[in-house]
Structure 1
Amino acid sequence: MWLLLAFFSAAFLGFYDVFKKMSLKENAVLPVLFLNTVFCGLIFLPFILISYGSPELLQDTLFYVPSVGLKSHGLIFLKSIIVLSSWVFGYYGIKHLPITIVGPINATRPVMVLVGAMLIFGERLNLYQWIGVLLAISSLYMLSRSGKKEGINFVHNKWIFFVAMAAIAGAASGLYDRYLLRIVEPMVVQSWFNIYQIFIMGSILLFIWFPRRKENTPFKWRWTILFISLFLSVADFAYFYALSFEDSMISIVSMVRRGSVIVSFLFGALVFKERNLKSKAIDLAFVLIGMIFLYWGTK
């Protein structure tokens, strides 16, 4: 069950990346990210209010948000900071790079999660799973060669660095989720971390972006911004629910979620008309074959 939820999450995560790319084209990054946190918070706020005011309406459903102590809220607040760090780097990266480059880079993020899961949680992979991981690592090397054809130097391009930092923070978030979801209900984590992000991102917008807004790219409202939040919320809900299963493995869930690259790659080819698709398709094939081996290893 948890593996199917991971695949479901991956599909929605792919559309999330697509709408993010559409929203950020010639647009200010921080306001788009702030609105994303606002809409995500508004999606989950009713569940918080109903759970507190009329708990009997949601108590036996997946949408119930039980009360937790101050320590749990502190842990959730820390998650908000980690996730926002990843998002800030990731939003800037995807704005300035082809989505057919960003997607496969993000697809290698679970390799870092794998190392952390082995060291921290004692997770162990079988032969099929190791083959899947090695294929994902190989795809990153091949992708760097594809990027050179578009003048993108993986070593000296700062936006590649931004995407890499987003991946590192995202991996840290994934490992932290495995710990957090063992002591706090998934719906509590997802609801409250979205609420906390509004205040964190609002402060960043007020004190960093707003005073210098006339010096930077102006903000333009687009309806695709709303779809960022909708698809992300559904993807995260499936993800948190998957990790709530006792036998779930964060190394596998994280790797499967990177299957979102299929959706983003197709849109990059068909909608954004990006270049060098043949070589990038080979890179993508390595990722997909790796996903198949991971699936076999988990059966």
Structure 2
Amino acid sequence: MTDWLISIEGTQTGHHMALGLALMAAFLHAVFGALQKGRHDPWLTRGAIDGSYCVMAAPFALFVVPWPEPHMWPIFAGAWVIHSIYKLLQAAAYTKGAYTVVYPVVRGTGPLFTVVGAYLIFNESFNTVQWIGVLVLMAGIFGLALYNLMYLQTERDTLRAALGLAVLTGVLVAMYTTFDAYGIRATANPFTFLAWFFMIDGFLFPIIAYRRWHRMEDSPAVGPLMQRGVFGGVIAFLSFGAIMMATRLDKVGEAAILRETSTVFAALIGWLVLKETVGPRRVMLMMLIAAGAVIVEFGG
């Protein structure tokens, strides 16, 4: 399978495969975000998820895939730093604001910076129609942020902090998307990067989560938390793994923007599962974000 994936890089088949992987990543990332924002503390949930996918990835990294080339170790170190900062900011944002407030801004801010990074690093460029799509997407993002500032009644005291953290998290999304695309292209076997990335990336947050859990007066039961962690670990493999593979097979900028159709799934999950109030105006703005992503994909 590895040889076949490598053989379709940059081809029309690879483009179609990247399209499917990015859409799958969009849906699964919305599920992943809802898991972290669910009934458990976001820091604890993230620790359980990271610990789970670290343990699951270790046998593949150590015994199945080829070992990384020497030049990959600095890349893994850079990826660990970027992802660690991203996860710290995301957990803080979820602590301050509702899922349907934070998630669209995080996921919508990242693509603009990713497009710029893809141009500078991978020499990718967008045509006029695709840039219109980027502007539509950004209009939906900032319209959503403005709407939340004007009309959202709950969490008013922490809303500005939540939106600020969400924007910063979006910048880190762009950084890790671009850096991961560089990393997965730098090794001969893409599965080597994926296995080692997940094993290395899973070290930090279990420690943070344990210390936070230990200090709580009413700590949640470990069993249900770890069940959520194992489920989230599988989702993380499929979601993050899919978008990383998509950026190897095709253009980084297009894959990153198409993934932001996850805002539509996020709205549905927030409404149906988390019982958050979404409202028709916020749904329309989330749809605008998704429409921008579609214009970028099909305007190319």
Length-normalised TM-score, structure 2: 0.83
Partner of 2:45: 32
Aligned equivalents of 2:234, 2:289: Cα separation in 1: 26
Shift of 1:139: 0.8
Is the aligned partner of 1:277 residue 2:279? yes
Give the stretch that moved more between structures: 184-193 or 194-203: 194-203
Is the aligned partner of 1:174 residue 2:177? yes
Partner of 2:161: 158
Give matches, 1:249-260, under 5 Å.
249-260=251-262
Shift of 1:282: 1.5
| Cα deviation digits, residues 197-252 of structure 1 (max 9, x gap) | 3333355457x647x7147x74444333332211111112211221222xx11111
Partner of 1:60: none
Aligned equivalents of 1:123, 1:166: Cα separation in 2: 23
Counterpart contact for 2:114–2:253, Cα < 8 Å: yes
Higher helix share: 2
Aligned equivalents of 1:15, 1:70: Cα separation in 2: 35
Partner of 1:18: 34
* 1:181 match: secondary structure: helix
Counterpart contact for 2:102–2:162, Cα < 8 Å: no
Shift of 1:41: 1.4
Amino acid paired to 1:138: A
Give matches, 1:103-182, under 5 Å.
103-108=103-108, 109-148=110-149, 149-151=151-153, 157-182=160-185
Unaligned runs of 5+ in 2: 1-16
* 1:182 match: secondary structure: helix
Aligned equivalents of 2:183, 2:278: Cα separation in 1: 41
Amino acid paired to 1:295: E
Aligned equivalents of 2:20, 2:161: Cα separation in 1: 36
Change (3 A) 1:214 1:100: closer
Aligned equivalents of 2:158, 2:91: Cα separation in 1: 19
Counterpart contact for 1:89–1:166, Cα < 8 Å: yes
Amino acid paired to 1:92: A
Change (3 A) 1:134 1:192: same
Aligned equivalents of 1:197, 1:213: Cα separation in 2: 24
Amino acid paired to 1:139: G
Counterpart contact for 1:77–1:193, Cα < 8 Å: no
| Root mean square deviation of aligned Cα | 2.4
Aligned equivalents of 1:43, 1:166: Cα separation in 2: 26
Is the aligned partner of 1:289 residue 2:291? yes
Partner of 1:200: 204
Aligned equivalents of 2:25, 2:257: Cα separation in 1: 11
Is the aligned partner of 1:45 residue 2:49? no
Aligned residues: 277
| Cα deviation digits, residues 43-85 of structure 1 (max 9, x gap) | 222322432xxxxxxxxxxxxx211234312311220221121
Aligned equivalents of 1:10, 1:101: Cα separation in 2: 17
Counterpart contact for 1:143–1:280, Cα < 8 Å: yes
Amino acid paired to 1:3: L
Change (3 A) 1:35 1:271: closer
Counterpart contact for 2:25–2:242, Cα < 8 Å: yes
Aligned equivalents of 1:276, 1:36: Cα separation in 2: 27
Counterpart contact for 1:147–1:154, Cα < 8 Å: no
Partner of 1:62: none
Amino acid paired to 2:262: S
Aligned equivalents of 1:293, 1:155: Cα separation in 2: 34
Aligned equivalents of 1:288, 1:34: Cα separation in 2: 30
Aligned equivalents of 1:8, 1:214: Cα separation in 2: 36
In the TM superposition, structure 1's runs of 4+ consecutive aligned residues that sit over 6 Å from their partners are 152-156
Length-normalised TM-score, structure 1: 0.83
* 1:20 match: secondary structure: helix
Counterpart contact for 2:141–2:289, Cα < 8 Å: no
Partner of 1:226: 230
Change (3 A) 1:249 1:265: same
